[in-house]
Amino acid sequence: MKIVVIGGGAAGMMFSTQYKKANPDDEVFLFEKSSYVAWAGCPTPYFIADELKKSDVLHGTPEDFIKRGVNVKIHHKVTGIDFQNKTLNVEGEEINGIFGYDKLVIAVGAKSFIPNISGYSKNLTNVFTLSHAEEAFKIKDYITENKDKLKKAVVVGAGFIGLETAEAFNKKGLNVTIVEKAGEILPSFSEKLKAGVYKEIENRGISLKLNAGVTEIVSQDGKASAVKLDNGEIIDFDIALFSIGITPNIDFIPKNLKTDQGKIVVNDKFETNLPDVYAIGDCIFNKFYKTDRNLYAPFGDVANKHGMMLAKYLSGKNISWKGLLRSFATSFYDIKLAQTGLTLKEALDLGFNADVVEMHAMYKNSGFEDSIPGKVEVVYDKDKKVLLGGSMVGAQAVAQFIDQIAIVTTLETPIEKFIEIDFAYSPTNASVWNPLLVVYRKVIK
């Protein structure tokens, strides 16, 4: 059997290594157009801020995986696919031309989305995107090479990567402006929960401009100097990041592969609509857990799960990918945010008889000087008495609290059973009242 994988990111490398381990007699070829494999996108803003090393972004070299039996070919770009004849068009130094496969795994990831903005060009020396490790290295190198000249930075887009990179630029001593076309940041969080984030942005000396779309990039001789907003305002900069969003990198794939809104459609076995063609990672639509609702979740942990699950399936295991609750976490300086499942608005729009429990969560006894309560909102079904989702903002243990909510939501654990869970407690490590116990007290009366 010859398995061919397109893309050497988290999904592609996890699949390749796990499949080869289970099927040592099969050939596994992996084509990656860049210089790197096994790279992680989520740590890149912290690498730019000098808080993580390059080795924290790259989790292995091509040679590491070649030693494990995977035929890794970097600098090899797949430019076309003939699904009927099971062949690829490959452009590379070692393999250049037609290359056949028995089974194909598409793990091409996603690229930054740039709308039609006047003056934008990939060749501008000081305007960057950040959807690949290579781009992080270019940003870091540019800052290092021009550290005495850089004073002002503009970040277009206030999503996870935008906020995290704005923090990185700020820590590098730059005067940062965030430009966001929408009227708010982090739209899935309630205004109560994210009020502290707005305050922290202000406290850090970062300018945030909402309801502000970029219409033009002003440049001369290949170097940009300013962005013009739709209200006519001009913001000067020395370096800019466009972090508006990402879209699957599937432009080269023939149209007979089924897609929806630019994402590849797969079933619970990661099978596409074409025989012997599979897709995993940031290029596919997931399902919202146990539903038929499409959910785009371009997260590193999800990509790794995809790779592992598909390797099991193609090795003869009976697996079923049931989808996701959209669990995620991020931070801005010392403020940590995490969320899972449905928001209250989403739950009501879907017809649930839903309500929300609001509370403060303590990480330790409130008497300690560094004990700062987190704010929590838990959404539940009033009829079935089960959780539907939750959000939290705080200084510590935020993702861990949300993970607990994700577990009981996934398992549909009745709220009345929460009192039976034996949570750990000590004054220095946890509160007497775990947030799930607070939900129990407020819902089960």
Two tokens at 29?
Answer: 């070829």
Its pTM stands at 0.95
How high is the pLDDT of residue 372?
81
Query: What is each CA distance from 173 to 149, 167, 284, in whole angstroms?
Result: 12, 10, 38
Vertex 408 angle, CA 404 and 410, to 5°: 110
How high is the pLDDT of residue 366?
76
How high is the pLDDT of residue 161?
96
Q: 264 — phi, psi (to 5°)?
A: -70, 135
How high is the pLDDT of residue 365?
78
Two tokens at 267?
Answer: 């079933």
DSSP, res 151: -
Question: For residue 276, how many other CB atoms are within 10 A of its CB?
Answer: 15
- Give the residue from 243, 42, 68, 269 showing the smallest Cα distance to 154: 243
Checking DSSP bridges between strand 294-295 and strand 286-287, what pairing results, if any?
antiparallel
In a structure prediction context, what are the per-residue pLDDT tens digits for the chain, which is 445 residues long?
999 999 999 999 999 999 999 999 999 999 999 999 999 999 999 999 999 999 999 999 999 999 999 999 999 999 999 999 999 999 999 999 999 999 999 999 999 988 889 999 999 999 999 999 999 999 999 999 998 999 999 999 999 999 999 999 999 999 999 999 999 999 999 999 999 999 999 999 999 999 999 999 999 999 999 999 999 999 999 999 999 999 999 999 999 999 999 999 999 999 999 999 999 999 999 999 988 899 999 999 999 999 999 999 999 999 999 999 999 999 999 999 999 999 999 999 999 999 999 999 988 777 787 778 899 999 999 999 999 999 999 998 899 999 999 999 999 999 999 999 999 999 988 888 899 999 999 999 8
The tokens 């560094």 sit on which residue?
A: 370
Two tokens at 407?
Answer: 């577990």
Helix and strand totals (H; E) in the chain: 10, 27
pLDDT (tens digit, 9 = 90+) per residue, 221-267? 999 999 999 999 999 999 999 999 999 999 999 999 999 999 999 99
pLDDT (tens digit, 9 = 90+) per residue, 263-312? 999 999 999 999 999 999 999 999 999 888 999 999 999 999 999 999 99
How high is the pLDDT of residue 429?
84
Q: Which residues of 108-133 are buried (b: 16+ CB within 10 A; e: fewer)?
A: bbbbbebeebebbeeeeebbbbbbbb
| Secondary structure class of 294 (helix, strand, coil) | strand
Contact 260, 314 (CB under 8 A): no
How high is the pLDDT of residue 369?
77
Q: Give the sign of the dihedral formed by CA 418, CA 419, CA 424, CA 429.
A: positive
CA–CA separation, 152 and 144 (whole Å): 15
The tokens 């959404």 sit on which residue?
A: 379
Who contacts 74 (Cβ-Cβ below 8 Å, separation ≥6)? 8, 32, 33, 34, 35, 36, 37, 62
Contact 81, 254 (CB under 8 A): yes
Question: For residue 386, how many other CB atoms are within 10 A of its CB?
Answer: 17
Who contacts 139 (Cβ-Cβ below 8 Å, separation ≥6)? 48, 128, 130, 239, 241
DSSP secondary structure string for all residues of 13-81: HHHHHHHHHH-TTSEEEEEESSS-SSB-STTHHHHHTTSS-GGGTB---HHHHHHTT-EEEET-EEEEE
Give the HSE-up count for residue 110: Cα atoms under 13 Å, Cβ half-sphere.
Answer: 29
Two tokens at 107?
Answer: 């793990």
Two tokens at 259?
Answer: 């897609």
Ordered by where they begin, the domains of the chain are 2-37+59-111+247-314 (3.50.50.60), 127-244 (3.50.50.60), 328-443 (3.30.390.30)
Which amino acid belongs to residue 301? D
Contact 76, 90 (CB under 8 A): yes
Contact 335, 199 (CB under 8 A): no
CA–CA separation, 122 and 110 (whole Å): 16
CA–CA separation, 109 and 251 (whole Å): 12
The tokens 């690498």 sit on which residue?
A: 47
Q: 37 — phi, psi (to 5°)?
A: -130, 165
CA–CA separation, 361 and 39 (whole Å): 35
CA–CA separation, 337 and 162 (whole Å): 15
- Give the residue from 220, 32, 244, 56 showing the smallest Cα distance to 136: 56
- Give the residue from 192, 195, 196 showing the smallest Cα distance to 376: 192
